[in-house]
Chain A
Amino acid sequence: MAIQLEFLQSIPYFSGLGPAELHSIEKLIFEKTAERGEIVLLEGEPADGLYFVASGVVKVFKTSAEGKEQILHIVRPGESFNDVPVFDGGSNPASAQAMGPVTLYGIRKSNVETVLRDYPQVALNVIRVLADKVRHLVSLVEDLSFKHVIGRVAKILLEQAGDGKSPGPRLTQQEMAGMAGTAREVVGRSLKALEEQGAVRLDRHRIVITDKEALKEIIEAPS
């Protein structure tokens, strides 16, 4: 295994550490690979360690009792996941799946404790990383717990729909998120919810409004 020190240095967890310190941390790292679609962590299982994405992308998500999925984080190279259980001793709070072929660097829980004890700088970095994650999750919770986001997405669809003669503007989920004042993950889920309620149909690159009246009702529903 060839772990690049420059790569380790670029990981927010290890910023500010010198080559000698990174070298000793490197010895504690194990490598893991996964193929597209492979589940790398399962929600509720005991946590074995902390992971960093070395290459590829991992999605961290929760699944509801009805099997609905909510993406919490898209984890890109240099970023970490499964931090929480490593620090609080609980089980994995969410599942993680490889979105394509991925390489992960892991550090076992007991070794994370060693690193924190030996390198207080890492503890400071961890606080910053966790604070960022909390901020992201708080805004996600806010949007997911208020029904009006679905209403806002419904309103955008109705306002932006082409009239049949001239096509309307084409919008990405990112743009809809910007217009609705929410995160892209919430738009994805809102579109699925609208489809389940029979108001729209997702037809590849088209969102077909199949029931205009139902959409209006959703917009007017008190939140």
Chain B
Amino acid sequence: MPVIAPEKCNGCGLCVSVCYCHALIMVDNIVTIIEIEDCGWCTQCEAVCPTGAISCAFEIVIEEH
């Protein structure tokens, strides 16, 4: 799942508003991520976060033939 840096989160809720799978919830004004299979790694939560508190990191692998 995407990773939150709670110390950077300002509680604006923009990531929650764009996430279609309801993986992000607000707890005590800080975003918390719940494990959800439907997260399609759309990275929109990362794109809209004004403070860079969310990261959707990619693992880069080489497919061997």
Contacts and interface: CB of A to CB of B under 8 A. Distances in A.
Interface of A: 36, 55-57, 74, 76-77, 99-102, 157, 160-164, 167-168, 170-175, 184, 188, 201, 204-210, 212
Contacts, number: 94
- Pick from B16, B19, B43 the residue with the most CB of A within 10 Å: B43
B28 interface: no
Contact of A161 (B43, B46, B57, B62): B62
A171 B18 contact: no
18 contacts: A55-B17, A56-B18, A74-B47, A162-B60, A162-B62, A167-B61, A168-B60, A170-B59, A172-B57, A172-B58, A173-B56, A174-B52, A205-B41, A205-B57, A205-B58, A206-B58, A206-B61, A207-B60
A172 B12 CA distance: 21
A208 B61 contact: yes
Contacts of B60: 157, 160-162, 168, 171, 206-207, 209
- Pick from B19, B43, B52, B58 the residue with the most CB of A within 10 Å: B58
Contacts of A174: 46, 52, 55
A182 B52 CA distance: 16
